[in-house]
Amino acid sequence: MPTGMVTFDPVARAFRAALGLVSWRAMPVAVRLLFAVLLGFVVLVAIMDATPWLDALNPVYEVFYNAVLVGSAVLCLARGALGRDERVAWTVIGASLALWATGNLYWQFALSDLEEAPYPSVADGFWLGFLPVCYLGVLLLARKRMPQLDSRLWLDGIIAALTTGAISAAVVYGAVQASTGGDTAAVATNLAYPLGDMILLGTVIGAMTAGRGRLDRSWLYFGAGIAVFAVTDSIYLLQIAKGTYVVGTLLDIGWLLGMLLAGLAAWQPAVRKRATGDELPSIITPIGLALASLALLAYDHFEPVNLLALGLAIAALVAALIRLSVTHRASRSNLVSTRVQARTDSLTGLGNRLALHRALDTTLAEGVPHVLLMLDLDGFKNYNDSYGHPAGDALLARLGARLLAAATAVDGAAYRIGGDEFCVLAPSPPGQPAGSLLERARVALSEHGEGFMIGASAGYAALPADAEDAEEALRVADRRLYAEKNSGRISARLQSAGALRGALQEANPELGGHTDEVATLATEVARRLGLDEDEIERVAIAAELHDIGKIAIPGSILRKSGPLDADEWAFMRRHTLIGERIAQSAPALTGVAGLIRSSHERWDGTGYPDALAGDEIPLGSQIVFVCDAYSAMTGDRCYQPSLSEADARAELRRNGGTQFAPAVVEAFLAARPAPVPTPA
């Protein structure tokens, strides 16, 4: 590559990049050709402006110049005539460009050869007529492209327009005003140009500011074109006012580029975006614009500016204050909305756990009697698995609405605090039991149909009697709720245990009687140790079934009168593992199976099947082991004589800490006081 070409390589790359931003496929072939010709004319005009022999080329120059103006207007008018939408906006914009081109043609062919052209002239009428028509086109296009804008975006646009106008008025309008002379018509014309350019530039910048984030390529080209046009015209007026304007400089290209960009924009694809929360403006833009207006007012103290600029700057600051006020109000509204959402369950619209906590804190602080109900759906998981999560969500929404109606009927409130957990907090007047509200809540949370039945288990807490704070109130209600839920599970557990106990009784009546006694003893000891009712029930069932595995042990081993050999002992010791497997076959006995497995573990770790020691052994198994040993020692067995009750108690005490858990032995002895000797 020749060395001289290197200088133009960055320019060529920039030119190619700019052309790459144009959607050429969206333009018909004829439009592409026309645009290419017009662009070529602009380049030729720029070259001629840069040459010293412009006067000799003036006729060609004027042809190219006016061809670009007329061609740009044709591009926009063609878009208005042939396009599918935005036809009115582009027709109006094309008409405005045509007015400017007509004014230029009139000046070229009717007035340029006169020694002293009239001022104002017909050409001025066309040029000034371009401005209001162009305003209308800008507004129509902005309205079409941005049908729904947040009020803050419109305010940002107004602030930008006022700030731009203030700066333009200070720089251009003031200079033109200072140089104005002549009759009234000439004065009005002189001032109309900078004022019109100021309004046009402010309108375009305001629309672009309002639509940021929602402006497509078409609007950006158009806005840039009108902005270039207005800035060029403003610089021209400023140079005319100062007497520094020279015909045939690169400034003259500004009008052509501005119009050509507007014509190009007409044929770019339009993409209209709906308003979304992501497009809401930040406060940075209006603050920056307000600071620019404030700087202009501060500058006025050092170098006086015209009243129009001051008025526009003050108006921009007022608009910025309004914008801040609107932003503050919107922020407060969003904060309130966020707080409501933070305390509301999105599915049912009921209060969530946070809202319930706040309500409980308030209720307990006031000390007014209330009742807290906690309800958990029964059968919901099966419903969800059968009909799917959307149907489950719809069911929760229906049940939540019914519960809310039941709660509000007694001046209460309903909450959803978990997947299928609900709460009600309602006043509890004296003499009005919680049971009536509980029943209404159960009815509200009940639904049945073909193949399903939904109900609710419930617990309650009376406030402030049952709790001093929100957490304690929830714990009390939760404990009562799951006590009720477990009662259903205990029933199933008892039914399963009864079936297995019947099988054991049929297989070995002697073992059946023994297990009944062990269960009775275990219940007493468990209660003595302070276990809750559910744990006591599990221990009692484990005691009843601790020998269930012996069903699989041959009778010859069970009834052998002599000592068992090693193989027989190995076989016998499998009965706890067999018993565990039998219990695990019934889902309701899952919590019992482990107790059966460990019911022959010794405190010193020499038991079976896992050689557990000390507190590694489940407490329920420790209880069953002590009670089983006592029953075996005091009962008649084929392989050993029975002991008296006193001797059996002494044996337990002697082996406490080695074979048996010491605490369990003490609880057993305390639960069954030693018999009083009968006098001789």
* DSSP string across 542-559: HHHHTTGGGGGS-HHHHT
| Three-state DSSP class for residue 284 | helix
Residue 448's DSSP bridge partners are 453
278 burial (CB, 10 Å; 0-12 / 13-18 / 19+) is exposed
Determine which helix (DSSP H) or strand (DSSP E) holds 415, and give its type and residue range: strand 413-416
What are the Cα distances from residue 4, in Å, to 1, 7, 8, 9, 48?
8, 6, 8, 10, 21
Length of the chain equals 680
| Three-state DSSP class for residue 159 | helix
136 burial (CB, 10 Å; 0-12 / 13-18 / 19+) is middle
Cα 219–chain centre separation: 32
Q: Which residues of 497-517 are buried (b: 16+ CB within 10 A; e: fewer)?
A: beebbeebeeebeebbebbeb
Question: What whole-number distance in Å separates Cα of residue 645 and Cα of residue 649?
Answer: 6
- Round the CA-based radius of gyration of the chain to a whole number and report it: 48
User: What type of residue is 494?
Assistant: L
Q: What is the dihedral of CA 58, 59, 62, 63, to 10 degrees?
A: -150
Question: What whole-number distance in Å separates Cα of residue 610 and Cα of residue 289?
Answer: 81
Q: Report whether 582 contacts 548 (CB < 8 A).
A: yes
For 544, phi and psi rounded to 5 degrees?
Answer: -65, -35
> Is the torsion defined by CA of 565, 597, 621, 607 positive or negative?
positive
User: What type of residue is 295?
Assistant: A
Q: Please confirm, yes or no, whether 420 is among the known catalytic residues.
A: yes
Question: What whole-number distance in Å separates Cα of residue 457 and Cα of residue 184?
Answer: 92
User: What type of residue is 155?
Assistant: L
Q: What is the dihedral of CA 438, 440, 445, 446, to 10 degrees?
A: 110
Catalytic residue among 233, 252, 376, 420: 420
Q: Report whether 260 contacts 235 (CB < 8 A).
A: no
Q: Active-site positions?
A: 420
